[in-house]
Amino acid sequence: MDKEHLTAREAGLVNCLDCHLLAIKGDGALQMRCPRCGARLHLRKTNGMARTWALLITSLILLFPANLLPIMTVTYLGEREPNTIIEGIEHFIQSGEYLIALIIFFASIVVPIFKVVGIMLIMISIQKRWQTWLKHRTLMFRVIKFIGRWSMLDIFVIAVMVALVNLGTLTSIKPAPAATYFAAVVISTMLASNTFDTRLIWEGA
């Protein structure tokens, strides 16, 4: 062997992702547990690719109702008006709150789509065994994982407004069906980035 670097797998070691201990890999007949913290050890996350694909396809399907259906119903002085995410952003632009419009646009529309498409591209690149842009792909995944949770923003805005704006039948704000779909999108994309194993990008490098 005359390679420049050695990975834990090539050296017969398993890295515990919970406590960072390196354990010597057994014969593989038994389920290995970390000698320090007791967590299950895997060379790579179990069925990483299949689980991540399943969760990403789920998110992709859920993205449609989340964006097309109304996310909340605003009743103001007796007038009922259901609002989708996009319409909510339009309201902010009309009232001149450009920064808020931008934040919601990013958190609710750009991030979820970027997340699903981004992880899919990384997965395709692994299945096609591309050996380039390794560092960039890892960095992209790191960014996706970091910003993913911020999509939950809209759900909290709804929670606050529904509780506060409840002034009889004339003026109230109520959640609408897309809220459930949207929360499900955020949760399934977060799970997808947890089941994905970035070490697969570096396999064979």
Nearer to other proteins, 114 or 202 (CB): 202
Among 28, 36, 58, 112, binds other proteins (CB under 8 A): 36
Nearer to other proteins, 6 or 93 (CB): 6
Tokens of 7: 């990975």
Binding characters for other proteins, 125-164, by CB under 8 A (x = yes): ---------xx--xx--x------xx-xxxxxxxxxxxxx
Helix ranges (H only) for 69-177 are 85-94, 98-105, 111-127, 134-148, 153-164
Among 56, 66, 179, 192, binds other proteins (CB under 8 A): 179
Tokens of 41: 């050890």
User: How far is C-alpha 174 from the geometric centre of its chain's CA atoms?
Assistant: 26
- Positive or negative, the CA dihedral 98, 101, 103, 109 is negative
Binding status of residue 79 toward other proteins by CB under 8 A: no
Give the separation between CA 109 and CA 105, rounded to whole angstroms. Answer: 5
With CB under 8 A, what is the number of residues at the site for other proteins? 69
Give the separation between CA 52 and CA 191, rounded to whole angstroms. Answer: 8
Pick from 30, 6, 201, 33: nearest CA to 121: 201
Contacting positions for other proteins (CB under 8 A): 1, 3-9, 11-13, 15, 17-24, 36-39, 76, 92, 95, 97, 100, 103-104, 134-135, 138-139, 142, 149-150, 152-168, 171, 174-175, 179-180, 183-184, 187, 190, 198-199, 201-202, 205
